[in-house]
Amino acid sequence: MSDLNQNYKGVFDGRLGFGKNPAVLVVDFINAYTTEGSPLFAPDVVTAVNETVDLLALAREKNVPVLYTKVLYNKNFMDGGIFVQKVPVLKTMVEDEPLAEIVPELPPAETDIIVIKQYASAFFGTSLAATLTSLGVDTVILTGCSTSGCVRASAVDGMQYGFRVIVPRECVGDRHEGPHEANLFDIDSKYGDVVAKEETMDYLKSLSS
């Protein structure tokens, strides 16, 4: 890792920092990833969900917008395109399927926004970018799963839409430590800032309510 850090030094080690108007984006924290026996079950996602509980509570206390994503397909899966062909387990994500629902540990409030998506990025094919822009958001605090899939894709697109992307590392999870750490490294190098949850909490506490 020291050789890798040295290789990136001065090239991919810039920092964005927090802006003035954040929103918290909760990507795909759904039962499929936290239910034992589910094909997508990932214990580290369970941990990330639990770490996100007080972060969301603080965000709401500070009147910071909270937005969720979840994946839903028509039952003919035609809106899933090539993605559901590549990853057939996604066909679990249909209306009335309990595994497709947001985890009970992080229930959306009436003031929150739920974005439905069909692909990895929370921005692709959704109104998310327009919604954030209309709210005056400049910083996206990105939580959710999986780090190597939907979180990374959302981080890349978030940066490309002009948002400061901040990832509290304790609040994202994956199926395996290898891709999790590799993608956090890439996000931190090129697309946003990966920070400790404590730093994110301190930032939120500093905001006026």
CATH code of the domain containing 102:
3.40.50.850
Residue 45 lies in a domain: yes
Each residue's pLDDT tens digit, 173-188: 999 999 999 999 999 9
Indicate the SS3 state at residue 74: coil
Each residue's pLDDT tens digit, 95-115: 999 999 999 999 999 999 999
Residue 11 lies in a domain: no
Each residue's pLDDT tens digit, 190-201: 999 999 999 999
Element (H, E) at 183: helix 177-186
Residue range(s) defining the domain that contains residue 157: 16-206
Residue 189 lies in a domain: yes
If one counts the domains in the chain, the total is 1
Residue 101 lies in a domain: yes
Residue 56 lies in a domain: yes
Amino acid at 198: E
What are phi and psi for residue 164, nearest 5 degrees? -75, 120
Task: Answer whether residue 1 shows pLDDT above 70.
Answer: no
Residue 4 lies in a domain: no
pTM over 0.75: yes
Mean pLDDT (the chain, rounded) = 95
Each residue's pLDDT tens digit, 147-172: 999 999 999 999 999 999 999 999 99
Query: 139: closest CA among 154, 109, 124, 159?
Result: 159
Residue 63 lies in a domain: yes
Residue 5 lies in a domain: no
Indicate the SS3 state at residue 19: coil
Catalytic residue list contains 171: no
The one catalytic residue in 49, 66, 142, 150 is 150
